[in-house]
């Protein structure tokens, strides 16, 4: 079954509000990736984290890999309508799994 869970499943925010999605694995991951899929589109690679406790930033997006390498988060500061889409984490352990995804809606 699914070994990489994400919460929340859905999130509606007002434009300008912050947004966070959390990714949790039942096993230790060697690395974690984040992807964004726009409605009707395909997943697009955003970033990869490899080190325990690693934090990376891309403009308004902040990605974090947990100390135990079992969880990760993506935080978006001051959301914009262009942030709409589904955000997936994907982890490599014994196998490779995509998370369940968090669908973000930004209300203008």
Partner 1 sequence: DAGVIQSPRHEVTEMGQEVTLRCKPISGHNSLFWYRQTMMRGLELLIYFNNNVPIDDSGMPEDRFSAKMPNASFSTLKIQPSEPRDSAVYFCASSPTGYQPYEQYFGPGTRLTVT
Which spans of this chain sit near partner 1 (rule: CB under 8 A)? 2, 30-31, 33, 35, 41-45, 48, 88, 90, 92, 95-98, 100-101
Exposure string of 56-79, with b = 16+ CB inside 10 Å and e = fewer, is: eeeeebebbbbeebbbbbbebeeb
Report the residue number, 44 or 68, with the smaller CB distance to partner 1: 44
Beta strands in the chain (DSSP E): 4-7, 10-14, 19-25, 31-37, 44-49, 55-58, 61-65, 71-76, 85-92, 96-98, 102-107
Report the residue number, 79 or 89, with the smaller CB distance to partner 1: 89
Q: What is the C-alpha to C-alpha distance for residues 27 and 47, in angstroms, rounded to an integer?
A: 20
Nearest approach, Cβ of residue 18 and partner 1 (Å): 25
Nearest approach, Cβ of residue 22 and partner 1 (Å): 16
Nearest approach, Cβ of residue 82 and partner 1 (Å): 19
Report the residue number, 19 or 97, with the smaller CB distance to partner 1: 97
Report the residue number, 64 or 86, with the smaller CB distance to partner 1: 86
């Amino acid at each position: 079954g699914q070994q990489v869970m994400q919460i929340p499943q859905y999130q509606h925010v007002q434009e300008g509000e912050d947004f966070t999605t959390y990714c949790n694995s039942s096993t230790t991951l060697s690395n974690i990736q984040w992807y964004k899929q726009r409605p009707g589109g395909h997943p697009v690679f955003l970033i990869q984290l490899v080190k325990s406790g690693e934090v990376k930033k891309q403009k308004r997006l902040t990605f974090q890999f947990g100390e135990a390498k079992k969880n990760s988060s993506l935080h978006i500061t001051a959301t914009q309508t262009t942030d709409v889409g589904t955000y997936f984490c994907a982890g490599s352990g014994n196998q490779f799994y995509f998370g369940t995804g968090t669908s973000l809606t930004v209300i203008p």
